[in-house]
Structure 1
């Protein structure tokens, strides 16, 4: 069975992606900072998979190097990894850049930039063994200048550039910066406290765009879910 690691899989897009993959026969390693939420997600993932599907959970924070080491070791128990989805993200505070606390910016970059690269480095031999796929979940804030989104947007722009350079350096991999667009998730609600975000699409509606990348394996690059979804079934 193919093997995937999805970070931030206890809720939102990570959970939705995991549900779609186990239904297609993938073995998964998943993580999340909230162990209770992760346990609930894992129970659901296992119920969707086949009798031989393996779903292994590692609670923890991707910003912690020791946690990333454990993730890599657990992945190794399943065999070479076919797909790494760097989905875990930190929104951080949302003041103007002139007032942004630099220690908080370091924390945002630790989760959104350094952690994905750290996992890629640890898993690179396994990924290249089977010509694997790396999906780094990005944002439109990486390419658009939204007021108060400077910290998060800068981190995702850095992740985009990391993805682009890795793709040039490693032609034996497929490396995608994946922009899912607005979704009805807890993190999106955090960005708009007190607002009704029920008009945003659920994360499960975006998963077919991710599956198209994984299954069709177009050239490495930056892809918007909206553009991929427009081509589904075409």
Structure 2
């Protein structure tokens, strides 16, 4: 019987995805990680070694997603899917009245359609292994921040998609997780020219995310603060 724990993480070449992949590999997991930039993905693969399987491509591309499905099916089991890849949209962030609809469609393709597509193909595998699905959300999906209409509305849609999937699959653990502000390239792009060094690093968020995955509360939307302590829920 195969007891190796396997995870699929999108957007694994930077930010929270990379930090989570590193910790899971350290704990003995095998991680299939996707990313769009070959240099970054190769660097992560070199750092993490044989526990990390890089798969170069854009998660918005159906051909890439089909390849991912083939790879995880070949593993024999899948214990965790984390839809972490996100598109911010234009930078500086435009008001909705000025938002390019073509760019908005691109944001939705990455932030809403792609996560659903990934889960459509992997839910049977997760069900067979009593696995966990996590969609990375944002407070911009809840709060109406000026300039964040494109990204924020896509995350609001992702939250609702996650909630409905959970209602339709009550035997599975399906979560939306809001990590809060982090010191990442995407967050810097949202605030061009500003100093964001006061934001926490993605590595500091990983413990809270892992507590969600390990403690497996009822399927719902959670924030980093909900799992900020070691206390058992």
Q: Do these two structures clear the TM 0.5 threshold for a shared fold by scoring above it?
A: yes
Match of 1:114 in 2: 113
SS across alignment from 1:206: helix
1:1-234 equivalences in 2 (<5 Å) = 1-46=4-49, 54-93=51-90, 94-229=93-228, 231-233=229-231
| Distance (Å, rounded) in 1 between the aligned partners of 2:200 and 2:53 | 28
- In structure 1, the gaps of 5 or more residues are 47-52
- TM-score (norm: length of structure 1): 0.95
Greater than 3 Å deviation, 4+ residue runs: none
What are the Cα deviations for residues 87-118 of structure 1, in whole angstroms up to 9, with x where unaligned? 00000022111111111100000000000000
- In structure 2, the gaps of 5 or more residues are none
| Distance (Å, rounded) in 1 between the aligned partners of 2:48 and 2:10 | 14
Q: CA deviation at 1:232?
A: 2.0
8 A Cα contact 2:126 2:132, kept in partner: yes
8 A Cα contact 2:13 2:41, kept in partner: yes
8 A Cα contact 1:3 1:79, kept in partner: no
What are the Cα deviations for residues 123-177 of structure 1, in whole angstroms up to 9, with x where unaligned? 1211111121110000000000000000000000000000000000001210110
| Distance (Å, rounded) in 2 between the aligned partners of 1:33 and 1:141 | 24
RMSD over aligned CA atoms reads 1.0
SS across alignment from 2:218: coil
Q: How many residues align?
A: 227
Q: CA deviation at 1:54?
A: 3.1
| Distance (Å, rounded) in 1 between the aligned partners of 2:7 and 2:123 | 13
